[in-house]
Amino acid sequence: MRCPFLLKTVVIATALSLGAAGTASAATNVQLAKLLEQLNQRVQKLEQANADLQHELVAARAKAVTAKAATTAASAVEQRLTALEQQQSLLVTSLDSDTISEMEPDLSARLKAVEVKTQELSGPVGKLAALNDIKGGLSLSMVAQKSLAPNAEDGQLGYRTDAFVSLPLEPIGDIEQSLFTQLRLGQGSGLGGLPSGFSNPLATAFQLGLGAENSVALLAQAWYQASIPLPLGGFKPASKQKLEITVGKMDPFVFFDQNAVAGDETRQFLNSAFVHNPLLDAGGDIGVDANGFAPGLRFSLLDTSDKLENWRVSLGLFGAGEKGANYQGSLGAPLVMLQAETARRFFGGLLGNYRAYAWSNPQAVPFAFDLPLADTSLTAPEHHSGWGLSMDQRVGDGMTLFARWGQQTTGRVKFDRTLTLGLEANGSYWNRGGDSLGLGLGWLRTSDAYRNYKLTDPTDPQTLNESENVAELYYRWRVAKQFELTPSLQFIGNAGGDAGAPGVRIFSLRSQFTF
């Protein structure tokens, strides 16, 4: 634009004319200078206005270009949206049909193919999901035993296999349900030729009465359990109490007289005096069948208000006696057991379990039943009762102590008071964390009635002592994750309470496979 130049020309010409006229009109130089200053200011304003007009013109042109581009882009987006809508319409129409045609969209054909495959797999997948929580296991115990008496030639090899399956059932509301089954088979009845004692040096011995050459599986346990959160109708995740109801064929020792380090004959002590309360097990007051099982019903209330220290109360009713435990009679005279237990933390927070229980068995067998000259009037079933304690307490990172006490209150029994105690030390103390060392000591006190009866038998001139003494030492060596070897040494003194009986020393080697 030429406006500034023209304005300057006009200004100069005006100045010259004014100069000439000034001569004529006698204008002063001061007035001329003032007029030039005013004209210069007007020129600057005009130049600024011109620059502003140029910027506005450039902005207007850019805006026009942008608007045109936007219009073009909007048109392209509209075309794409129209195409997508058409494809969506075709896809919806295709998916409404169950058949697959050649003309339908590729995506629809693939979705239908995946749906067909999913339906084909839904059956097997559903079955696998139902089996997801199933638990099972297999245990094989083989034990070789040898008496260390000078003239003893008796040695015995036996095995026992246990297989179990725990199957969860569909919950009923908040009530959880499960089924448990266990099969057992084995051969080998243990050492013979030992002095008649109260305890059994081979608690794993299992053999059905079909001959030593036969190995037949037995349905050992089969029971149903319901777990009911309390209070009824409450909010299950906030429930702190639980009622368990168990019914079926079971081993009562699974639920009563438990012990963390003296309760598993396949991995811990072999002598029955240390596996369970001797009054119930070796003494026979548990009232189970010849294989160690009985029909039963159990109620158990568990309180977990304190997650670290809880308590439980259990009541059990079990078929007892020759008929009750073998499903030949009713439960009109069952074995009744009541147990209270709690978990407590001592020694800086180390866990301990403490149990107190009592039992009543109206179908118990009196001690005279198995004596050679027993009076038949003494062989009728009679009522036995007693109470016991079972404790296991950790006292170090790898050390656990245990103790059991049992006392008979009614009934004719061979021994009426028992005390067993000992420990299990973890191999971490000698850099063998998977190994364990166990030591158990036991005293089985003969009853006054038994001593008096034996002393009056002229055909059995034995010198009676107050108790049978039992000791066992074992070392469990973990060879692999699922394989352990356990050598052990047992000593039985005053077997059967006979002070004249020679001491019995037994060496055992147990192999244990667990899957």
**171-196 average pLDDT score:** 88
Residue 93 lies in a domain: no
> Tokens 């149990």 map to which residue?
355
Please report which confidence band the pLDDT of residue 192 belongs to, taking 50, 70 and 90 as the band edges.
confident
Cα–Cα dist 10/4, whole Å = 10
Please report which confidence band the pLDDT of residue 41 belongs to, taking 50, 70 and 90 as the band edges.
confident
Cα–Cα dist 187/328, whole Å = 26
Please report which confidence band the pLDDT of residue 426 belongs to, taking 50, 70 and 90 as the band edges.
very high
Residue 342 lies in a domain: yes
Q: What is the pLDDT of residues 266-316, one digit of tens each?
A: 999 999 999 999 999 988 899 898 889 999 999 999 999 988 889 999 999
Residue 117 has pLDDT above 80, yes or no: no
* Residues 500, 356 within the same domain: yes
* pTM of the entire predicted model: 0.73
**Which of 75, 110, 132 delimits the end of a domain?**
132
Residue 328 lies in a domain: yes
Q: What is the pLDDT of residues 297-311, one digit of tens each?
A: 999 999 999 888 899
* Residues 151, 127 within the same domain: no
Residue 371 has pLDDT above 70, yes or no: no
**DSSP run (H or E) holding 222:** strand 218-230
* Residues 299, 354 within the same domain: yes
Please report which confidence band the pLDDT of residue 122 belongs to, taking 50, 70 and 90 as the band edges.
low
Cα–Cα dist 168/251, whole Å = 20
Of 414 and 73, the structure prediction assigns the larger pLDDT to: 414
Cα–Cα dist 71/391, whole Å = 88
**Which of 86, 121, 141 delimits the end of a domain?**
86
Q: What is the pLDDT of residues 477-509, one digit of tens each?
A: 999 999 999 999 999 999 888 888 888 999 999
Which residues span the domain enclosing 74?
3-86
* Residues 115, 19 within the same domain: no
Of 466 and 97, the structure prediction assigns the larger pLDDT to: 466
| Per-residue pLDDT at 381 | 85
* Residues 116, 251 within the same domain: no
Residues 6+ apart with CB under 8 A from 122: none
Residue 465 lies in a domain: yes
* Residues 446, 507 within the same domain: yes
- 3-class DSSP state for residue 281? coil
| Per-residue pLDDT at 125 | 60
Residue 92 lies in a domain: no
| Per-residue pLDDT at 33 | 80
Q: What is the pLDDT of residues 222-264, one digit of tens each?
A: 999 999 999 988 888 889 999 999 999 999 999 999 999 999 9
Instruction: Locate 139 and state its tokens.
Output: 């245990």
Please tell me the total count of domains within the chain: 3
Chain mean pLDDT for the chain = 84
Cα atoms in the Cβ-side hemisphere of radius 13 Å centred on 65: 5
Cα–Cα dist 42/6, whole Å = 13
* Residues 124, 145 within the same domain: no
> φ and ψ at 483, to 5 degrees?
-140, 125
Beta carbons within 10 angstroms of residue 460's beta carbon: 13
* Residues 119, 141 within the same domain: no
Residue 377 has pLDDT above 60, yes or no: no
Task: Determine the longest span between alpha carbons in the chain, in angstroms.
Answer: 179
Please report which confidence band the pLDDT of residue 429 belongs to, taking 50, 70 and 90 as the band edges.
very high
Measured torsion, CA atoms of residues 195, 196, 201, 206, in degrees rounded to the nearest 10: 120
**403-432 average pLDDT score:** 94
Residue 20 has pLDDT above 60, yes or no: no
**453-482 average pLDDT score:** 81
What CA–CA distances, in Å, run from 179 to 60, 133, 135, 295, 319?
85, 12, 11, 15, 20
**Which of 78, 106, 132 delimits the end of a domain?**
132
**338-361 average pLDDT score:** 95
Please report which confidence band the pLDDT of residue 54 belongs to, taking 50, 70 and 90 as the band edges.
confident
* Residues 44, 111 within the same domain: no
Please report which confidence band the pLDDT of residue 15 belongs to, taking 50, 70 and 90 as the band edges.
very low
| Per-residue pLDDT at 10 | 47
**DSSP run (H or E) holding 486:** strand 483-493
Instruction: Locate 374 and state its tokens.
Output: 């027993």
* Residues 53, 103 within the same domain: no
* Residues 38, 109 within the same domain: no
| Per-residue pLDDT at 462 | 58
**19-43 average pLDDT score:** 69
| Per-residue pLDDT at 127 | 59
| Per-residue pLDDT at 7 | 47
* CATH number for position 299: 2.40.160.180
Burial environment of residue 514 by CB neighbours within 10 A (0 to 12, 13 to 18, 19 or more): middle
Residue 91 lies in a domain: no
Q: Measure CA of the first residue to CA of the last residue in the chain; give whole Å.
A: 100
The fraction of the chain above a pLDDT of 90, given in percent, is 47
* Residues 163, 44 within the same domain: no
| Per-residue pLDDT at 359 | 97
| Per-residue pLDDT at 24 | 46
Please report which confidence band the pLDDT of residue 372 belongs to, taking 50, 70 and 90 as the band edges.
low
